[in-house]
């Protein structure tokens, strides 16, 4: 995003900058990002999982939902990793490698829309709170404060019990629970922005509140919003995995990683670690990758 224009004066600053200059600024930002090893590692890991998600839809070694051919539930035990089953098989004789690959798909279909809902609603709310201040801000701030006092996992648990579990409900619930957090961040960014001259100028020109919020202020706080979107994406993976692990997220026989851990973890004690550890590693690497990217964006975009 065009970070270099953050403090540019005048109306609609983004449009006032020549296109070539903006492209230049974007290249510089990218160069700064690529100089950070954490960011690059994050991108590499995330790309790996995106490729897995896409490939899994085309072809996996075994069907993720069924035992492999010839598996007999009554006599066979989960097989440890071997050349035939790279990550072994689980207690139902399903190939763990295929399930982990397929599970990547769930991560990229559930977490991003949840993060996006949270950021879009949160940004709108934050803009309104920061721009209008006064009684609107006071009332909304108290509600945001009350939401923040409730642990996300606990409220999600209650809501999913009331509404029933499905991908759509999980996306909606996580998105709405993220809204107040985003709103608070955006609100403080707007408070800093609204004192600048270009906002005053737009006011004096007689532009309407919604116009100033969306067309003048929003482009200038794009940096923090992009950071917030990445951070929320990380938390969305974290939260959705936890909800699936707790049994109120995605439902069996989905190869979702959190769900796989929840169904297999009790066998760890008897030494059957592979059906738990591989999905757990998949969750860990994905969230760490997203957070490394967020961390890099934060330090480059907020300078």
Partner 1 sequence: MARFFVRRLALSLVTLWLLATIVFVIANVLPTDIGRTILGPFASQQTVDALNERLGTNDPILVQYARSMRNLVTLDFGDSFQSGAPVMPTLLAAMGRSAQLAALALLLTIPISIVAGVYAARRRDRPSDRAIVLFGVTSSSIPEFVTATFLVVVVGVGLGWLPVLANPPPGAGLITTVKYLLMPATAMAVVYFGYIARMARAGTIEVLQSDYVRTATMKGLSTNQVIRRHVLRNSLVPTVAVIGVQIGYLFGGIIGVEKIFNYNGMGQLMLFAAQRKDIPMLTAGAVVIGIVYMVATLIADLIIAWMNPRVRLDEGR
Which positions lie near partner 1, rule CB under 8 A?
38, 142-143, 145-147, 149-155, 157-164, 234, 238, 241-242, 245-248, 258, 261-262, 265, 268-269, 271, 273, 276-277, 280, 283-284, 287-288, 290-292, 295
Contact 91, 264 (CB under 8 A): yes
Cβ of residue 8: shortest distance to partner 1, in angstroms?
A: 27
CA-to-CA dists, residue 197 to 15, 88, 211, angstroms: 17, 63, 16
Cβ of residue 199: shortest distance to partner 1, in angstroms?
A: 26
Integer Cα distance of 262 and 254 in angstroms: 12
Integer Cα distance of 13 and 195 in angstroms: 15
Nearer to partner 1, 15 or 146 (CB): 146
Q: What is the DSSP string of 263-302?
A: HHGGGGGGT--HHHHHHHHHHHHHHHHHHHHHHHHHHHHT
Q: Strands (DSSP E) along 39-157, which ranges? A: none
Nearer to partner 1, 204 or 269 (CB): 269
Angle between helices 274-301 and 37-58 (to 10 degrees): 130
Closest alpha carbon to 54 in 108, 95, 114, 113: 108
Cβ of residue 277: shortest distance to partner 1, in angstroms?
A: 6
Integer Cα distance of 163 and 303 in angstroms: 43
Nearer to partner 1, 18 or 271 (CB): 271
Contact 87, 81 (CB under 8 A): yes
Integer Cα distance of 195 and 16 in angstroms: 20
Nearer to partner 1, 16 or 143 (CB): 143
Nearer to partner 1, 53 or 160 (CB): 160
Nearer to partner 1, 208 or 266 (CB): 266
Cβ of residue 282: shortest distance to partner 1, in angstroms?
A: 10
Cβ of residue 132: shortest distance to partner 1, in angstroms?
A: 20
Nearer to partner 1, 38 or 67 (CB): 38
Cβ of residue 24: shortest distance to partner 1, in angstroms?
A: 27
- Coil, strand or helix: which one is 152? helix
Which residues sit opposite 95 in a β-bridge?
Answer: 89
Cβ of residue 260: shortest distance to partner 1, in angstroms?
A: 11
């Amino acid at each position: 995003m065009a970070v270099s224009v953050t403090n540019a004066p005048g109306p609609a600053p983004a449009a006032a900058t020549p296109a070539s200059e903006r492209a230049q600024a974007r290249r510089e930002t990218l160069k700064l990002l690529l100089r950070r090893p954490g960011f690059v590692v994050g991108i590499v890991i995330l790309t790996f999982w995106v490729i897995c998600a896409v490939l899994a839809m085309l072809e996996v070694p075994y069907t993720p939902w069924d035992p492999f051919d010839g598996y007999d539930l009554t006599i066979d035990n989960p097989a440890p990793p071997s050349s035939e089953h790279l990550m072994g098989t689980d207690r139902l004789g399903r190939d763990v490698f295929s399930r982990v690959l397929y599970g990547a798909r769930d991560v990229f279909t559930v977490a991003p829309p949840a993060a996006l809902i949270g950021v879009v609603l949160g940004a709108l709310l934050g803009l309104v709170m920061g721009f209008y201040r006064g009684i609107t801000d006071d009332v909304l701030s108290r509600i945001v404060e009350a939401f923040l006092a409730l642990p996300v996992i606990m409220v999600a648990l209650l809501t999913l019990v009331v509404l029933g579990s499905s991908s759509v409900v999980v996306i909606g619930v996580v998105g709405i629970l993220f809204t107040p957090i985003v709103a608070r961040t955006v609100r403080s960014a707007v408070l800093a922005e609204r004192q600048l001259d270009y906002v005053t100028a737009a006011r004096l020109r007689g532009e309407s509140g919604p116009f100033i919020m969306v067309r003048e202020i929003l482009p200038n706080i794009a940096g923090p919003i992009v950071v917030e979107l990445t951070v929320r994406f990380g938390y969305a993976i974290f939260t959705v995995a936890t909800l699936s692990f707790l049994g109120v997220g995605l439902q069996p026989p989905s190869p979702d990683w959190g769900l796989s851990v929840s169904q297999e973890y009790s066998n760890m004690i008897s030494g059957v670690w592979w059906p738990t550890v591989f999905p757990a590693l998949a969750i860990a690497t994905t969230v760490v990758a997203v957070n490394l990217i967020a961390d890099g964006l934060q330090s480059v975009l907020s300078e």
